[in-house]
Structure 1
């Protein structure tokens, strides 16, 4: 009958040391909000083994961004790179405890590399600092529409490298938030909205560029577009010139038909006046009322994972402003606008 053999912690610690750890690369200084890396060098006296596992403990002022380090092997050495986010003005790296995982359930003694304090440099930003510390930060697209009588809403898409992009915050915004985000310690992307005063001509803020070692200003010109806000894949204004062209052609056909009737005295040509005028009237109709189902959401922007204004506690009857790609723009109280999905419209 097989029996399970137990080994105590004291017996494990009495085993010979098989792993040797040392720091290979540690930053000389970091900034609060910066993403940085620490590389440690591991050497094993055991040739054949499955893996080396790491446990991190006793850290202060940092956040580990990946559960597993990136590894490079050079001869007998393993170079393990860990990614951290600096969250405080005082930082102590964690204790790195490495354990060798054997091929046949062998038990080896763990080795610990004690953490060390890092030099944290304090920034002295102006009021427009956006909390972004990055190697690069770029605005890809933006769009501004009216929010209410006192405010406009700016929606923009930005990408960044080596950045905690979720930390983005604009001090000049009346209201703001994330519509979508892709976080990565290397490449990240965000769709962000900011409600600002109508008298602002530019939405401006700054970020700290790690390569240039200085604050970089960002300017988004405020050009209010009365057209609908597009989805996050296309935040630029939609071209309405085709509709205007169609209305102009319909008007021209009606005018020509009118003169033909005067000339030929055949009232059958009235159809060429009635149809174009009916089309122009249809396109130029004022907003209609729509019925929103009970329990449906009213969104700030036409994004399925976007910010929700409110949830209808009962059937709502709202004024329709526009319609784009499965979304309906509606007028809310206090001259605000919101978006509802086509499938949330009452069936009756």
Structure 2
């Protein structure tokens, strides 16, 4: 019986040994597999990452590739929106305007800040509409309200309202600004006749007129004209030989010009028209041409020679001469004779003021005695002319060809 037991034990031992070996192999395989999962050098790691790991890797790559861009944006902050402190609105706007017209627009500014000591306006773009008084000051009304009346001139049918900025300054530093709101303009072209003077105004008046001989064939007429809300500087007539504006003043809304026209001697009336914006129609005016034969009178002062003053002066001379004559006849003294002779000589000299003067070459002979007067003749050489009168450093002369003009007294050559 002993051999059989031994045989059984040996078989059991072999089975146990086989199972042990299988377990050892299994344990070794598991250990190797786990080490492969934890190894950073295997390709398997790159294929089974979690979503969190993938996002982390993506962010790292972006940071490496675009580090400068992302660093800049990372420190950028959005500034809070600035509170508006200037509110602009239009108070008076014309329903329509005409090409060439100067028209007013009243603007209201509500300024909800005290951080300024000066208000300025700047034309950013005119768009075919001139701003005439951009430098005028705003007028304070009350509290935070300011007003200003702007005067604009339309230059073109397709013009649009200019782009203007109201700016606030404190200690010469810009603190705030606001662009004027857009404004639609209804612009119309006038269909005028040949008498149209190019003037568009709410009113126009001829204050004075004077006509004198210009040369053998022509007259010169000078008009003093005043207008309101007008483009009076554009005054020009196509029905005269030659014309121009010698001086002009503008004090909104009024303006004044001294206009001259060279016309033929046979002219009886000077006719022109302007467009009245209040009546919405053309108005025609006629100036009767009356020639003043007194060459001593001045063309610059459109007031005719003060007849009352001249009369008083002549009467004074007459009374003095008569008194001296009576004294001379009664007392027959030399002193009265000398006084009488001197008074008569002075009276004759005043009545005949013409004298010859020498004028330098290249002297500009002006139509009127004003700084910006039109030059109608330049002396080609030294010439002699008849002196008529002197006013404010200007001398009225008669040229050898009979034309009358003005020169500066500095152009006279003293003998």
TM-score, normalised with respect to structure 2: 0.64
Deviations 1:159-193 (A, max 9, x none): 11111221110121111112211123311111111
- TM-aligned CA deviation for residue 51 of structure 1: 4.3
Provide the rounded CA distance (Å) in 1 between the counterparts of 2:79 and 2:178: 10
Deviations 1:77-133 (A, max 9, x none): 44443221122222311233334445796855x433443331012222221011111
- Count residues in correspondence: 323
Give 3-state SS (helix, strand or coil) of 1:183's partner.
strand
Structure 2: segments with no counterpart, 5+ residues: 1-75, 323-328
Stretch deviating more after TM superposition (208-217 or 39-48): 39-48
Of Structure 1 and Structure 2, the greater helix share is in 2
Instruction: Name 1:197's counterpart in structure 2.
Output: 264
Deviations 1:130-171 (A, max 9, x none): 111112111111110111222110011111111122111012
Instruction: Name 1:165's counterpart in structure 2.
Output: 232
| Aligned mate of 1:336, from 394, 403, 406 | 403
Partners of 1:21 and 1:112 within 8 A in 2: no
Structure 1: segments with no counterpart, 5+ residues: 1-9, 253-259, 261-267
Stretch deviating more after TM superposition (168-177 or 284-293): 284-293
Provide the rounded CA distance (Å) in 1 between the counterparts of 2:212 and 2:281: 32
Alignment of 1:94 onto 2:162: yes
For CA contacts below 8 A with separation 6 or more, give which structure has more relative contact order.
1
Provide the rounded CA distance (Å) in 1 between the counterparts of 2:264 and 2:193: 20
Partners of 1:19 and 1:42 within 8 A in 2: no
Deviations 1:228-254 (A, max 9, x none): 3425344425647689989999xx9xx
Stretch deviating more after TM superposition (177-186 or 224-233): 224-233
Provide the rounded CA distance (Å) in 1 between the counterparts of 2:345 and 2:247: 42
- TM-aligned CA deviation for residue 206 of structure 1: 0.9
Instruction: Name 1:265's counterpart in structure 2.
Output: none
Give 3-state SS (helix, strand or coil) of 2:413's partner.
coil
The 3 A distance-change label for structure 1 pair 88 and 14 is farther
Provide the rounded CA distance (Å) in 2 between the counterparts of 1:54 and 1:294: 49
Partners of 2:388 and 2:398 within 8 A in 1: no
| Aligned mate of 2:283, from 204, 216, 219 | 216
Instruction: Name 1:4's counterpart in structure 2.
Output: none
Alignment of 1:34 onto 2:34: no
Provide the rounded CA distance (Å) in 1 between the counterparts of 2:78 and 2:157: 38
Partners of 1:72 and 1:80 within 8 A in 2: no
Partners of 2:300 and 2:368 within 8 A in 1: no
Provide the rounded CA distance (Å) in 2 between the counterparts of 1:13 and 1:159: 56
Provide the rounded CA distance (Å) in 1 between the counterparts of 2:298 and 2:210: 9
Partners of 2:353 and 2:388 within 8 A in 1: no
Of Structure 1 and Structure 2, the greater strand share is in 1
Alignment of 1:23 onto 2:89: yes
Alignment of 1:154 onto 2:221: yes
Instruction: Name 1:322's counterpart in structure 2.
Output: 388
- TM-aligned CA deviation for residue 219 of structure 1: 1.5
Provide the rounded CA distance (Å) in 2 between the counterparts of 1:176 and 1:292: 26
The 3 A distance-change label for structure 1 pair 50 and 345 is closer
Instruction: Name 1:347's counterpart in structure 2.
Output: 414
Stretch deviating more after TM superposition (195-204 or 36-45): 36-45
Partners of 1:163 and 1:188 within 8 A in 2: yes
The 3 A distance-change label for structure 1 pair 280 and 46 is closer
Stretch deviating more after TM superposition (25-34 or 280-289): 280-289
